[in-house]
Amino acid sequence: MAQTAFLRFSLTLLALGVSSCRLPEAAPAPAPAPSSMPGNGPKAEVPTARVRLTPATFSEPAPAARQAVAGEPPQLFRLGAGLWEVPAPRAGNGLYLALASPEWPTEGTPLQLQVEGAAPNPPEEGAVSIATEATTSRLAACGASLAEATDPAPPASARRLLTVATAQDQEPFWIIRAGLPAPPGEAYDEVERVCRRVHSGKGCHVYLDQRLAVEDAIAEARALGEAFDDQLLPGVSRLFGPAPQPGIDGDARIFLVISPDVSADGRTGTLAYFARRDQRTRGDGTPSGRHSNQRDALFIDARTLVASRRADLYTAVAHELGHLLHFTQHAPKLPPGTSEKLWLEEALAMLASHACGYTLETAPSMYHHVAGFLAQPHKYSLTDWPGNPGQAGYGVGYLFLLYLQERFGEALITEIVQGSLVGKAQVEKVLQGQGSSFQEAFGDWALAVLNDGLFEQPGSPWCYPHTQLRTSTPHGPLKGPAVMRLGPEGAQVPRRADVAYFFHVRPLPDRRLLGVRLQGPGRLAGMVP
């Protein structure tokens, strides 16, 4: 039921221009079949391509495999299309392969991976710790977001109010009950609530639904405001750039509005959201702008307004603050009718939480997103957000941008946020400035995911300098990426761009060399323990 609610929530928000976060659930529920999702028709099947692992005899000469890191055990190889000779692993080990597919050719072009001299057996426990699908499927705190270009940025001329109301001790706010269907003729299911200001700090005003005017709630709301000023706003601003000055409402501070209506009194599980419509003026003639709050605002559910849930709450608020700062920095530079690609928008928001100290080791939601991806990496595309089966899409985007940040520095992330392009085009542009490219970085990242926590060398591009993907955390273990089980006929993989596939094979007895052939697109890397 929790997973079904999340999917229903995702689909509803596709038309809202709202990004939001959800609470973690205590127990997971299996994802429903696409045809059972409310409001969603039968989902188109994702075309597949066969990846074959087949014993073969190669008649043509094989070039020696290029050893990427000389003299380092294990041997790391960056391969490519064609035929390669790779030294057979030592006794008891296998050859691990990472195939990154940053693009697909036209339909009908084959993708074939052949390994000569290897036994096509399922992976076994060996020298390398590999995750299993049972690692995690638990829902995590950050929820769905808007579809691409559903509510594009208004022109800059329409974002500044001619007359600005200063912050009052009591103000009415239109609150979206995110995840509920909109009534006929309305853009959202929403209610207007009068909220009371309980805190004003350096960077925020905190408003509490007047129905919650009790001592404990007021104290926690003020604690949130202080954490926002001291930790969240500085952390996200350092990475993304400053908050709007003065913003649509002429006030340099961001409004944090707390109400149980954010989750429809617990019916939707929404924890927090940022709505693009609040960046519109009410007279701009759009349906979403009719009830714009005309504020730089974040809306927060009241159910986690307790000291024991601060990590969940603050992680989510940092995530939504990332959406707000990204939107206000980036959207005005885009052509009319253009919005950021959803995968990049959400990956950046995950980095916003990370910048505030809420990492995969310190925050439960961040851990579960990453662990969910590592358990089934072949099911998740970095860029095909709608085609991903669950919330671990947050994990793959987070890990990719985190890799770029640790390898190239925070300035690269700031350049992505503040650029004038969207999606892969913007990432490609900033990587070219580093002498790299999206395809090259995506292939390096796939090998880093496989190798991290195993055989790392300082300065190597094939590991995370500061993050461990094989480690114990307070929330559970991380064991690296799960490998695909390959039989004699190979394995079917989704015909999708920007997916990393991981394989493990063992050599036949007395083999000193393995022949590896890649036909089709992608970047292939091998690791011999």
Per residue, the 3-state secondary structure of 103-122, as one string, reads CCCCCCCCCEEEEECEECCC
CA 268 centroid distance within chain: 21
Contacts 24+ apart (CB under 8 A), 279-284: 279/153, 279/154, 279/159, 279/248, 279/327, 279/328, 279/331, 280/154, 280/158, 280/159, 281/154, 281/158, 281/159, 281/161, 281/248, 284/154, 284/158
Q: Report d(CA 224, CA 314) in Å as an integer.
A: 8
Residue 14 has a pLDDT of 30
357-361, 421-425, 514-518: range with lowest mean pLDDT: 514-518
In sign, the C-alpha dihedral spanning 394, 297, 359, 401 is positive
pLDDT level of residue 254 (50, 70, 90 thresholds): very high
Please name every residue paired with 113 in a beta bridge, in sequence order, or none if there are none: 518
| pLDDT (mean) for 254-279 | 92
287: confidence class by pLDDT, cuts 50, 70, 90: confident
For 294-346, what is each residue's pLDDT tens digit? 999 999 999 888 888 898 899 999 999 999 999 999 988 988 888 899 999 99
Angle between helices 364-375 and 310-330 (to 10 degrees): 80
pLDDT digit string, tens, across residues 447-475: 999 988 887 777 888 899 999 999 999 99
- Of residues 404 and 309, the one with the higher pLDDT is 404
Do the beta carbons of residue 178 and residue 9 sit within 8 Å?
A: yes
Mean pLDDT of 127-141: 34
Average pLDDT, the chain: 78
Q: pLDDT (tens digit, 9 = 90+) per residue, 480-507?
A: 999 876 555 555 666 788 999 898 888 8
Average confidence (pLDDT) over 241-259 = 89
The residue among 27 and 250 whose pLDDT is bigger is 250
Please give the pLDDT value at position 247: 79
| Distance in angstroms (rounded) separating the CA atoms of residues 520 and 79 | 13
- Residue 373 reports pLDDT greater than 70: yes
Which among 226-235, 289-298, 372-381 has the top mean pLDDT? 226-235
Q: Is 277 helix (H, G, I), strand (E, B) or coil?
A: helix
CB contact set of 499 (below 8 Å; sequence gap of 6+): 100, 101, 377, 378, 380, 381, 382, 493
Q: What is the pLDDT of residues 105-125, one digit of tens each?
A: 555 566 777 787 877 555 444
| pLDDT on residue 147 | 27
Candidate from 220-224, 267-271, 366-370, 445-449 with smallest mean pLDDT: 267-271
Residue 139 has pLDDT above 70, yes or no: no
According to DSSP, residue 503 is labeled E
Average pLDDT over residues 204-215: 92
Q: Name the nearest CA neighbour of 34 among 369, 495, 381, 386.
A: 386
pLDDT bracket for residue 155 (50, 70, 90): low
Q: Per-residue pLDDT for 435 more than 70?
A: yes
Regarding predicted confidence, which is higher, 191 or 285? 191
Range from 111-125, 226-240, 410-424 carrying the lowest mean pLDDT = 111-125
In the chain, count of helices (H) and strands (E)? 10, 19
| pLDDT per residue as tens digits for the range 11-21 | 233 334 577 77
pLDDT at residue 69 above 50?
no
Could you read off the pLDDT of 28-57 as tens digits, one per residue?
Answer: 333 333 232 223 333 334 455 555 555 545
Distance CA 293, CA 57 (A): 69
